[in-house]
Amino acid sequence: MSKLIQDHTSTTETYIQSIYDTVIKRNPGEQEFHQAVNEFLESMAPVIEQHPEYRQHAVLERLLEPERLVSFRVPWVDDHGQVQVNRGFRVQFNSTLGPYKGGLRFHETVNSSIIKFLGFEQIFKNALTGQPIGGGKGGSDFDPKGKSDMEIMRFCQSFMTELYKYIGSDVDVPAGDIGVGGREIGYLFGQYKRIRGGNEPGILTGKGIGYGGSLARTEATGYGCIYFLQELLSSRGLHLQGRRTVVSGSGNVSIFAMEKAQELGAIVVACSDSGGYIVDPNGIKLDTVKQIKLVEGGRIRDYVTHHPEASYHYGSTDIWSVPCEIALPCATQNELDAAAARRLIGNGLIAIAEGANMPSTLDAVHLLLDNDILFGPAKAANAGGVAVSALEMAQNSMRLSWSFDEVDDKLKQIMQHIYRDSVQAAKTYGFEGNLVAGANIAGFRRVAEAMLQQGII
Ligand code: NDP
């Protein structure tokens, strides 16, 4: 911490530093959580100076301590009859604006640090959408790769057998994230219904269209990221047409970011999975990627057997060496470091919009901002998914379904609002042009004001 707070009075600096020191002390070894807090606190000095009441009421101190963190055992039986044990988590970080809301991640790297960094960022992202939702996140260190459908189902059933105690349509509403898509949400929902009886569609979002899901939820994070990118580009009179674009990952967010980018004329030349990346100089054929990733559950390297003009390269992080004007990190945290940022800048990068959560390291963020690259931070650029999840909750409450175009129009408007609010907050607090700070501040102010009104809780 330090870079962005150096112009502020030493008392504010000391206060913010002491808050950060407490976070480190109280959450030892949780590097991703520390990183997310660090990036957030870098934007806070002018806000704290202009609103002494936040300090007086310990708003930051309270925000940084989750309201609740549940960790639980998830035993399940694999196809060989062997008992397996995983760990499940749910962090209920902040409920000031509404029920806790945030996805579930199934990936072998999941631990309390990952869940807390995601849950913390979710508070501000959800606030930015303007919807009445608080921040939460959950998941498990279960690795879905190579598991049979029945193993996935048994795992999901065991996971929900514990999780159901803590969720509810007015309490906490989970959704998908890495490793949790429509299939997993279906199994989780089925088990919840079996345990509780009755039908409560509002307890999860990302459901199938046939049983309470919203049209355009699957597409929402990727599409929303491109809508945000359009706003960024148009601030300099630019557009996507003909721009060489690189998108990391080939999961839910990446695929629909590629789809909307292509629809708007971008030439997407590369995408990846955790094994490596493909380059197709004539433009990625998205139907092939969808077939491999969404239908066959295969690896991205299979693409070159269908399109021999494309090339496959081992190692996913080198994708940032592919020359492009637009980069969309849509895979995972810390996938774009300072060296990658330097390479991208050297190759003529104009803009980045973060589809993944915290995909850029803090050094990379500083470098990109210092080099005047248009930068759409995750909290703002990937908020489209949770925004449409909130629209799914609204449709469930009203027992009706909006058309694809209705939801897509609302999504576009929400992304435009988020952009405008972030630009305005950055300007008001002396960070003009820095949307990392703008998104942090716009989201924080909405939560902080409501926290003041609700008393010390
Ligand atoms: P998916 O599981 O659908 O896809 C993840 C993609 O990223 C896969 O291609 C995966 O490759 C790749 N990946 C995962 N880990 C790594 C790694 N360590 N290195 C390189 N590639 C990796 O997840 P989503 O698309 O849903 O999520 C992607 C990101 O977007 C995450 O950061 C998530 O938190 C964020 N996000 C998701 C939202 C949503 O609505 N789904 C909403 C907002 C943010 P492989 O197949 O090899 O594992």
What DSSP letter does each residue of 172-206 carry, written as one string? EEEE-BTTB-HHHHHHHHHHHHHHH-S--GGG-SS
Question: Which pLDDT does position 198 carry in this prediction?
Answer: 87
The residue whose CA is least distant from atom 16 of ligand 1 is 274
| Strand 311-314, strand 276-279: pairing | antiparallel
For ligand 1, what atom is nearest to the CA of residue 358?
32
The residue to mutate among 273, 303, 316, 333, having the most atoms of ligand 1 within 8 angstroms of its beta carbon, is 273
Q: Is the CB of 353 under 6 A from ligand 1?
A: no
Centre a 10 Å sphere on the Cβ of residue 381 and count the other Cβ atoms it contains.
Answer: 34
> Dmax of the chain from CA atoms?
64
376 close to 189: Cβ distance less than 8 angstroms:
no
Q: What is d(CA 118, CA 141) in angstroms, rounded to the nearest whole number?
A: 15
Q: Is the CB of 177 under 6 A from ligand 1?
A: yes
Residues with Cβ < 8 Å from 72, sequence gap 6 or more?
87, 88, 89, 162, 163
Q: What is d(CA 291, CA 97) in angstroms, rounded to the nearest whole number?
A: 40
Question: Which pLDDT does position 4 carry in this prediction?
Answer: 44
Give the domains, in start order, of the chain with CATH numbers.
10-64 (no CATH), 68-199 (3.40.50.10860), 219-381 (3.40.50.720)
Residues with Cβ < 8 Å from 345, sequence gap 6 or more?
367, 368, 371, 373
For ligand 1, what atom is nearest to the CA of residue 175?
40
Annotation marks residue 137 as catalytic: yes
What DSSP letter does each residue of 202-246 carry, written as one string? GG-SS--GGGTPPTTHHHHHHHHHHHHHHHHHHTTT---TT-EEE
The residue whose CA is least distant from atom 2 of ligand 1 is 178
Question: Which pLDDT does position 379 carry in this prediction?
Answer: 98
What phi and psi, each to the nearest 5 degrees, are found at residue 234?
A: -70, -20
Q: Is the CB of 331 under 6 A from ligand 1?
A: yes
Question: Which pLDDT does position 10 carry in this prediction?
Answer: 82
Q: What is d(CA 313, CA 293) in angstroms, rounded to the nearest whole number?
A: 17
Q: Is the CB of 139 under 6 A from ligand 1?
A: no
pLDDT in tens, the chain (457 residues): 544 444 566 899 999 999 999 999 999 999 999 999 999 999 999 999 999 999 999 999 999 999 999 999 999 999 999 999 999 999 999 999 999 999 999 999 999 999 999 999 999 999 999 999 999 999 999 999 999 999 999 999 999 999 999 999 999 999 999 999 999 999 999 999 999 998 899 999 999 999 999 999 999 999 999 999 999 999 999 999 999 999 999 999 999 999 999 999 999 999 999 999 999 999 999 999 999 999 999 999 999 999 999 999 999 999 999 999 999 999 999 999 999 999 999 999 999 999 999 999 999 999 999 999 999 999 999 999 999 999 999 999 999 999 999 999 999 999 999 999 999 999 999 999 999 999 999 999 999 999 999 999 9
Cα angle vertex 265, ends 261, 270, to 5°? 55
Q: Distance from the CA of 9 to the center of ligand 1, in angstroms?
A: 40
For ligand 1, what atom is nearest to the CA of residue 386?
42
β-sheet with 326-328: strand ranges across? 311-314, 276-279, 267-272, 244-247, 326-328, 351-353, 374-376
Both ends of the chain: CA-CA distance in Å? 28
Question: Which pLDDT does position 291 carry in this prediction?
Answer: 98
Question: Which pLDDT does position 2 carry in this prediction?
Answer: 46
The residue whose CA is least distant from atom 47 of ligand 1 is 274
Model-level pTM? Answer: 0.97
- Both tokens assigned to 261: 């980018």
| Candidates 101, 116, 125, 137; catalytic one | 137
